[in-house]
Amino acid sequence: MADYVQMWKDLGMDLESHDVLCSVLPTAVGDVFMTQQNRPKAMDFWDLVISEVHGIRPAELIEEQKKGRKVFGTFCVYVPDEVVIAANGIVTGLCGGSQFWVPGGEAVLPKSTCPLIKASVGARLGRTCPFFRIADMYVGETTCDGKKKAYEILGEDVPMYVMDVPQMKRPEDILKWKNEIAAFAKKVEEFTGNKLTPEKLNEAIKLFNEKRKALARVYNARKSECLPISGRDALLMMQIAFFDDPARCAQMCNRLADELEQRIRDGVSVVPAGTKRILVTGTPLAVPNWKLHNIIETSGAAVVCEEMCTGTRYFENLVDETKTTLDEQFMALSERYMKTNCACFTPNTGRIDDILRMVKEYKVDGVIDCSLKFCCLYDTEKYSVSRALKEAGVPILSLETDYTDTDAEQLRTRIGAFVEMIDG
């Protein structure tokens, strides 16, 4: 491993605590990923990235900052990366996925806040994540009450810009989101000192469409009866996509998809024929949260799709590339982003349609609907998700969990019983 200690020091990180965090990662990666048989060779890229997750990409970001580029940290798939890239900025995801950061978040937030928010705030305030140190500006959004109020606290420590996400999807809401994107673009122009042009924005739109298509190709391969990649590996790819350079992400995902498509032609599967296929839906799984996938895939089933922000919500639907003025492009962006179905909207029947469609597309035997503890939105939506699936005759298991490992055995029992149930 390269030596990043000086870089972390320069970032003002708490090295002692950071060492503790880093010391558990190799074991977790070993247990979850390296124990798998017959992994796609192209996973070597993501194995390398995760083995130095606080080194490789942060070092790249710092190099770019030296050239005058600004780094924007985001927390949500609604924030349009295209606008930042068009102004020669860089985007990095910031969501915290480790229990390590939760106590730091609980020092300032109510205990009954979801672990993702607590971990994100803890990662910033505890100075134990380089991405949270590097980002020049945080871009938040009003997708839930917990985040809204947490951004006020983060805003005391770092420049913070919050986008106002509508709560409904009427035509006036799509127009409103377009105006929010335009306002964000203005902020980005000010902050980077670079003017947005329709040409640059069009280039950025195409860049992200290519990234989405590449991610979709990997997911398409997972629709095959002959399953060429485990859910764990696909999840890792998806999680890293939030941090990586978009062009390289597309390139690596296409490289992986090439191999997966070849595997399907050769009949190479990572699981025995007849292994039950699970669609996981619900709240996002931020790095290094692999608990759910690991338990499912060591209980005799395989995860074939994630209807999640760290999943299909990130790449489904493309932005119209034919628009030639900024105004039209902002509208095209709004139209694409507003197609994403998050539980923060009401009504949100589109998500149910998505899940039912994916059950068919991915040849799913059972759905596991899992939300993070204290996520009122996804937790409440379980009712309608579960009812729709039962009506469609699709087995459904609803779970709630957090980042701790204390419920691992209870989850293992529920998931094991669910797999036994659909196995008949």
Partner 1 sequence: MKQYSIGIDIGSTCAKAVVLDAEKHIMERFLLPTGWSSVETAEKLKEQLSAYLSDAFTVATGYGRACVPFADRSVTEITCHGKGAAFLYSAPTLTVIDIGGQDTKIILLENGTVSDFLMNDKCSAGTGRFLEVMANTLGLRLETLCELASAGGGVSISSMCTVFAESEVISLIGRGEPRENIAFAVVDSIVTKVASQVSRLLQADGAVCLTGGLCELPYLRQALEKKLGRKVVTSSDGRYAGAIGAALLAWKDGAAK
Q: What DSSP string runs through 317-357?
A: S---S---SHHHHHHHHHHHHTTS--TTSSS-HHHHHHHHH
Rounded-to-integer distance, Cα 16 and Cα 126, Å: 11
Told to check if 324 binds partner 1 by CB under 8 A, we report no
Q: Which is nearer to partner 1, 236 or 389 (CB)?
A: 389
Rounded-to-integer distance, Cα 191 and Cα 113, Å: 31
DSSP label of 213:
H
Enumerate the H helices of 69-129 as residue ranges.
Answer: 81-86, 102-106, 115-125
Nearest partner of 213 among 304, 91, 314, 324, judged by Cα: 314
Q: Could you give the angle at which helices 198-222 and 246-266 cross, rounded to 10 degrees?
A: 30
The binding track of 336-375 with respect to partner 1, each residue x by CB under 8 A or -, is ----------------------------------------
Q: Which is nearer to partner 1, 180 or 379 (CB)?
A: 379
Q: Which is nearer to partner 1, 63 or 420 (CB)?
A: 420
Strand partners, 306: 280
The binding track of 8-47 with respect to partner 1, each residue x by CB under 8 A or -, is ----------------------------------------
Rounded-to-integer distance, Cα 106 and Cα 86, Å: 37
Window of 64-72, 159-167, 345-353, 413-421 that interacts with partner 1 by CB under 8 A: 413-421
DSSP label of 67:
T
Told to check if 417 binds partner 1 by CB under 8 A, we report yes
Window of 92-100, 270-278, 331-339, 408-416 that interacts with partner 1 by CB under 8 A: 408-416
Window of 116-124, 138-146, 247-255, 410-418 that interacts with partner 1 by CB under 8 A: 410-418
Window of 73-81, 214-222, 305-313, 402-410 that interacts with partner 1 by CB under 8 A: 402-410
CB of 10 to partner 1, least distance (A): 42
Strand partners, 307: 281
Could you tell me how many residues make up the chain?
A: 424
Q: How far is CA 175 from CA 170, 180, 186, 330, 337, in A?
A: 9, 9, 17, 9, 12
CB of 369 to partner 1, least distance (A): 13
Sole binder of partner 1 in the list 81, 82, 381, 400 (CB under 8 A): 400
CB of 276 to partner 1, least distance (A): 14
User: Within a 13 Å sphere around the CA of 140, how many CA atoms are in the beta-carbon half?
Assistant: 22
Sole binder of partner 1 in the list 24, 48, 168, 421 (CB under 8 A): 421
Interface with partner 1 (CB under 8 A): 395, 400, 406-407, 409-410, 413-414, 416-418, 420-421, 424
